Every structure is written in structure tokens, then in C-alpha cells.
Structure 1
């Protein structure tokens, strides 16, 4: 039989899409390189490759191999699952490296291909042992899933959505929990000039709206209220602390703890407590309004001129890919969350 949850399949699909975006970002300047399409396969060892590049390329594909192996039917022999997951990872990497021939900001590399394939293989081996035990009916995840989450696809998709929200918190250019900024996608200017007092009020409103929205969204994927709602928000603060420790100059782990953020948390937590007491349908409506309000406020908020990014780190190849990826997720997440809330209401209204 298959794993007791479809979560590994959703994670594998989401991770493959994220890898594809990171490897092809920024999707501009498409043109033929003039070289044979598969010339990179037999190219000599490149001079610009470092040990860190190789390690990151290996590590980047380990989770993909892991969840892909865990998603396969339990009746399949382990060697077949390892081969399938490893070959799929290698084919994904080969496809992306080939497409990179048409991007002037990218360099197709057989070293990257080999490192990605090795990472997929390592992840697949781990997945057939640890992954299956994690996601099968007797595994820890299924036990927690059965007690906490709503059953079926909605529960699995909700977990992926929360995972994407946590990933978005690593975007260094966003305010605390402030997602939905789509101005850069359409090359739109900042509508308001920077004013310290107004910026603090906007930040307070953004944080409060998103605490309410994320808390209620997390509650929507649970069978009943649990401390999972609080844990998700605390993990979000942890991810912001991690980002502030690495992407700013000088590194300041609590850089996100501004007066506006403190005010937003102080206002958002009571609003969330009150929202959790509402009936399910009204909770979902409040969450949707809070998501939209937070996105609107983010798009009218000016840039914070006091933030100094570690451009040396961010402009490096892998970190540039990662920055572009987190920026995309941060921009589209509120709209994915709105779609999720709509799906829950639609399916439950139909008795499913």
C-alpha cells in the first residue's frame, strides 16, 4: 500500500517546483548560447567551482530524494524505490541544467549535475528507511496527523502551505510576517514616501493582520484548537531571527523586534484569541479579510531605509537563487492561502 498520507507526494511536487524556480531565476534574457545543447555534459572541470558550491548542490537535492522515496508504495522493493527516486532527481537536474543554456546569467555544469544526482541518491536511501517509517500508518507523522489535522488532501496541503510560510520568513527584504508584496513582479513604484511615524503604524498593522491571518489559517487545518497555532507563530519568529542573523550587516538576530513589530504582536495576539472563539465559517472569513488587508498594507508600505543587506552574501550564486525563491514565495503566499481557505469552505459545504 501507499504511505498513510499523501504529504510526501505534495512535498515532492512543491520541492521540484521550488528547485526549478531557484535554478532558472530570474527568468530573463532568454537566448541561445551558441554552444551545442548538451556540450556541458563533457566539459572539463570548471575553474569557478568551490567546495561550498558542491556541498550546497548535494544538500539541495537530498530533501527531494527523501520525500520522493517516501511517497512510493510500501510494497515496492527498496532498491527499486532508490533507483526511481535517484534517477528522477538526476533527470530533473539534467533538464534544468539544459534549460540554463538559454539564460545568460546561468552556466550549465556537469559538476552541478553530478552533485545534484548524488544528493538525490543520498536522499532516496534515507527516504526508503526513515521516510517510510515516518509517513506510514505506524509512523510518528501519521500518529500526529490522525490526532491533530483534518483528514484527506486538505490536511496535507495545509502542511505544505505552512511550510511555505516558514520559508517566506527567510526573505530578508520583508517586514515581520509581511507577505504579499507584488510590486517588484510588475515593476511598480513605492506609492508612499518614507516617514518614520507612518512606517511604524503601517508595520504595526501589517504584523497584527498577519498574526491573525496565519493563526486562523493554521486553526483551519486542525481538527480542534491546539498549541500548534502558537508553535507555528513561534517558528515564524525563529525563521526571522535566522534571517536577521545572516542577511544583514551587522548581523542582529533580533533586528525584526522593532517598535512597530512589538505593537503588531501586542495587537495581533488578542485579536487572534478572539478570532479563535468564532464559528468556523466566520473564522475563515476573518482570516481571508486579514490576508487581504495585510497584502494591501505591504504593497503601500515604503522601503525601510535603515536596513543594510549583506550584499556580498546575497549576490553569491546559491544565495542569490535562494533570495529570489523566498521573494517569490513571500509574494504569492497570501493568495495561495486565500485559495486554500476557499477550497476548505467549498469542500465542507459539499459535505466532503
Structure 2
């Protein structure tokens, strides 16, 4: 359960951070402000008629976390008051941003966006009430966790990482059951099988290395005696199959082949001593990042280095920034894997590891200036650093780190020494 002492300062910080990201994403680019004509205020109070299903879905989804965090921040409130706070906060922020968009010629204000944002914030508030402590859904999830997952914040972070990878594979999460759309999503797989396009071995290698490392993280979260192979294979299969109905996320032969080989590699890693398995997974994540960063793009254009954070990621909606944030998951994975090694001086690791992550990612991005079809960007280096630091911002995990109470991987991976 949450205490009032925990709630006051810290629970507002996620609201401020996520709200700031919404402000940045909604008002980007932050220039060319001008005083609008009186007639330009009308779209705010008019119902939008040209919104696509993708825009509707996006406007709802991006405000769900805000509603969830607002409801979470008001710990001492009743469930009804939590939901009302989430709804009111979403409406106020959305109305302010829609009003400010009138001053930006590159943005379009709409009452429909306001209504959809309010729906998202309301859904987020209801979601928190549903999964809050003492709620039925919470109790059900808690019983499953206690039965299969190790106690402790590090195990929770490990499971969160798997979910984060799943989200990165299925973004923008807009499903479509249209037959022609489903065929379009399967075309890359069919063209590779019929040898119309060659197999991309770099992309396949990224999948292999990634899934090997994710399997190790997942095995670390399970209790002794619980088999990691079958549930992990089912999880990977479910994520890849869900790519088929998702708009813009085709299922490729590289993903299927890489997943198969990666699961086999994970089985082999389970037979290694604990530290060797974790170190191998760290190397696998680093290798996947390097291969992905140095691969050639789909065009012959060469781009200069971009020094403005998130420039080029934000277009007509804020889904670009959400996708970019989730894409930094490998560095969150690195942080979680390193913590499983139970470092004796976590504070120094936080600082020097962060410096290494930022410098390494900056170097890879800088080198993309000489690779065709790539967009070298300071944003990726910044997000890599933030993702590396993310576990340290989780209060229960920070306490585990300081107290050196790290769970062992006994039963799933061999103990060393």
C-alpha cells in the first residue's frame, strides 16, 4: 500500500515529467509563434471531420498515462475523486495546449482532440482505480506475481522490461482486421520466402541478440522451479503475431528466424554460470545496439548531425515522441542486467555507466553522418542516458540497490561460485 509520506513530493514528479513531454510534443516546433486572427479560434470549438483512426487512437492513448499518474498522485483521495482528478487534469492540460496551438501555424487545434484527450485521461484514472491496492484486479495480479515471480523490485523491473520490448515491437498499437491490410503486413515475409528480396542478416542478428538477452532477464524474474522456456517462447510468439494486425508493423522473415535462433541461444545461456550468462546478455544487448546503429538505411541520402532534441521525430501527432521513448529500451535492459550482477558500488556505476552509455551512443550517432539513409540525432544519446538511469528513479529498486539485497537467479540460471 502507499503511504501519505511517499505520495507528497515524489508522486507529482512523474506527472510533471510526462506532462512536460505532452507539452513539448503537442507544441513542437516551438517557434514561428504569431497572433492568430479571430476566425482561427473557431476550429477549437468545431468538431474535426478529417481525423483518421490512427489520430483518434493516438489522442486517446497518449493521455492514458497522464490520467493514471494523476490518479496515483492524489493518494489520500477516494476512488471517485481520483477519477475526477484525472479527468479534470486531462481536460485542463488539453484545452490549454489546443488553445496554444492556434498561435502555431504548423499545428491544428480541434475540439475533437480535446474530447479524445479527456477520454484518455478518464481511462487512465479508471485504470489506476482498477489496479490500485485493495482492488480486485490488483489482488488477482498480485496473487499471480507471488506464485510465479520473485519478490523484490528488481524482478518487477525485469518484467516491466519485457513489456517495454513488446510495446516497442507493436507501436503505434493501431490494429486493423482489413484483409488487404493484413496481406500488406505479411508481404515482407512472403517476398523473402519467395526470394524476391534477400534476407537482412543484420536485422536478423539484432533479433537474435535481443531475444537471448531478454530471455535471461525473464528467467531472472521467475521463482526457482518455474520453467522459463515455455512462457518465454509463448510471449515472444504472441508479440510477433500481434504485429500482423497492427498498422505499419509488418511481420518479417528476419523477425521469425531471429526469434527462433534467439530462443535457442537463450536455452544455451541458461546452462552457463550466473555471472557468465548475465555478462553474455550484456554483450548481446551492446552488439544489437551497435549493429542497429551502423546498418545502412533505405535511401542514399546523407544527413548532418541534429543537435535539437526530438527534431524530426514529431510530425502531426505526439506518437512520434512516444515511439522514440520506447525505442530506448535496450539501455534500460543494460541497467537491469548490470543490477543483477549485484554491484558493490552502485552509485559510481550509475555515474560512470551513464557517461559510458552517453559517449558510446553519441559516437554511434555521430558516425551515422557517413552512413546512407540514417538520421544522426542527439535525441537518441539523451534517451539512452535517461533509460540507463530509469531503474534508479524507482524508489523500491533504489532501496534494494543501496541495501545490496539483490535476488539470486537460483533455479533458472546456474549459480556461480
Does TM, scored on the shorter chain, surpass 0.5? Answer: yes
Residue in structure 2 matched with residue 61 of structure 1 by the alignment: 63
| Partner of residue 116, structure 2 | 115
In structure 2, C-alpha distance between the alignment counterparts of 1:31 and 1:201, rounded to whole Å: 44
Q: Which has the higher contact order (CA 8 A, sep 6+)?
A: 1
Tell me the CA shift for residue 152 of structure 1: 3.6
- State the alpha-carbon separation in 1 of the partners of residues 166 and 114 from structure 2: 28
Give CA-to-partner distance per residue, 1:138-165, whole Å, 9 cap, x none. x011112223334343333333322221
* Matched-pair contact (CA < 8 Å) for 1:15–1:64: no
- After TM superposition, the structure 1 stretch with the greater mean CA deviation from structure 2, 269-278 or 53-62, is 53-62
- 1:202 CA displacement: 2.2
Decide whether the 8 Å contact of 1:65 with 1:123 is kept in 2: yes
- Rate the CA distance shift 1:32–1:298 in 2: closer, same or farther, 3 A: same
Alpha-carbon distance between aligned partners in 2 of 1:215 and 1:317, rounded to the nearest angstrom? 36
Match of 2:146 in 1: 146
Equivalent residue in structure 1 for 2:276, among 273, 279, 282: 282
Unaligned runs of at least 5 residues, structure 2: 173-196, 300-313, 344-399, 406-417
Distance 2:113 2:277 in 1: 47
TM-score, normalised with respect to structure 2: 0.57
Asked if 1:267 corresponds to 2:264, the answer is no
Q: How many residues align?
A: 300
1:195-254 Cα offsets, whole Å, 9 max, x none, are x76x63323322211111111122233344645665455444434443344445xx9x6x
Q: 1:103 to 1:155 in 2, by over 3 A?
A: farther
Correspondence 1:87 to 2:83: no
What is the rounded CA distance, in whole Å, between the counterparts of 2:144 and 2:67 in structure 1? 23
Between 219-228 and 155-164, the greater mean CA deviation after superposition: 219-228
SS at structure 2 position matched to 1:169:
helix
Query: Residues 170 and 242 of structure 1 are in contact (CA less than 8 Å); yes or no, is this contact kept in structure 2?
Result: yes
- Report the CA distance shift for 1:300/1:59 in structure 2 as closer, same or farther (over 3 A): closer
Match of 1:106 in 2: 107
SS of match in other structure, 1:32:
coil
1: distance between equivalents of 2:23 and 2:237? 24
1:326 aligns with 2:320: no
Question: Normalising by the residue count of structure 1, what TM-score does the alignment of the two structures yield?
Answer: 0.66
Residue pair 1:207, 1:265 contacting (<8 A) in 2 also:
yes
2:153 and 2:41 mapped to 1: Cα distance?
41
1:300-346, CA deviations, whole angstroms, 9 ceiling, x for partnerless residues? 223468xxxxxxxxx9955xx4355324422x111121122233433
User: How far, CA to CA, are the matches of 2:19 and 2:235 in structure 1?
Assistant: 21
Separation of aligned partners in 2, 1:232 and 1:100: 45
Measured on the aligned residues, the alpha-carbon RMSD in Å equals: 4.3
Give SS of 1:286's match.
Answer: helix
What is the match of residue 334 of structure 2?
338
Mapped partners of 1:351, 1:244: distance in 2: 43
1:238 corresponds to 2:241:
no
Which residue of 292, 308, 330 corresponds with 1:298? 292
Q: Is the 8 A contact 2:43 2:110 kept in 1?
A: no
Measured at CA, do residues 337 and 101 of structure 1 come closer, stay the same or move farther in structure 2, by a change above 3 Å?
A: farther
